[in-house]
Amino acid sequence: MPMLCTTMLRLSKTPKIGTFHASGGKPWYDFGTPIGKLLLKKWLRKLDVKITVSQPAYEYVSKYFPGEYTIIPNGVDLKHFSPDTAPIEEFNDGKLNILFIGRLEKRKGLDYLLEAYAQIKPEIPDSRLIIVGPGTRLRRKYEKRVRKNNLKDVFFIGYASYQDLPRYYKTADIVCCPATGWESFGIVLIEAMAMGKPIIASDITGYKSVLTHGAEGLLVPPKNSRELAMALIYLSDNKATREQMGEKGKLTARKYGWENITQEVLNQYMRVLG
């Protein structure tokens, strides 16, 4: 909500901390006019501390507003996203569950996952694709494509509450994040890691800052359904590898636990109030 942010910068008399998340596209702080950019620079000088959620986010925002930034990543509730969660019963039948979680918008890359799934379904008939996330217009398009291609075992769940999300992760054998770009971090990655699930993700800057190829999962070229399909086949054939990646993911997720992240944020507040 950019107008709220700029209003606070203009009017607030208290110390101010700003956190920047963007990593692509055309953010609100890229005002189209020189006057607009001058105003934003004037207002942003009022920030006492600037935080970015990742190195890619820092590189992006610093092009517009150079200066000192502290990198503090997003966090995950390790108690909420716990491997002890119960799975979704209707999908807990022994099939290989491939999970997509994200808004149904183009940059999340579901187009490429559907293409990849169509390629692997004949080879792995006992597989299922579960799609969780809000979206209406593109959902109708995706559902039409699934019907047209007679693609079996594809389930569109729609919006899932925060309470239910861990159960979908628990149900998954592989979590797939095929976003095409503009990701500064990848919360879905650390949620999946916390749940002990192996991940296949696009090899984009935001995801590379969280996931190491061959450790917690696999990185594949974005917009490449063939490479995505090959990664899915590889992990589907190697249960031991999936389990190793899941265990490594749980270890990695610990550093993103909110008890660590909130302390880093609190340190910045104490620094400002100093």
Q: What is the pLDDT of residue 40?
A: 79
Burial class (CB in 10 A: 0-12, 13-18, 19+), 13: exposed
Q: In what order do the strands lie in the sheet with 174-177?
A: 154-158, 127-132, 96-101, 174-177, 199-202, 217-220
Average pLDDT for residues 191-197, to the nearest whole number?
98
pLDDT digits (tens, 9 = 90+) for 129-152: 999 999 988 999 999 999 999 999
**pTM more than 0.75:** yes
**C-beta separation of 181 from 204 below 8 A:** yes
List Cβ neighbours of 94 (8 Å cut-off, separation of 6 or more): 126
Lowest-pLDDT range, 12-16, 63-67, 242-246? 63-67
More confident residue, 257 or 60: 257
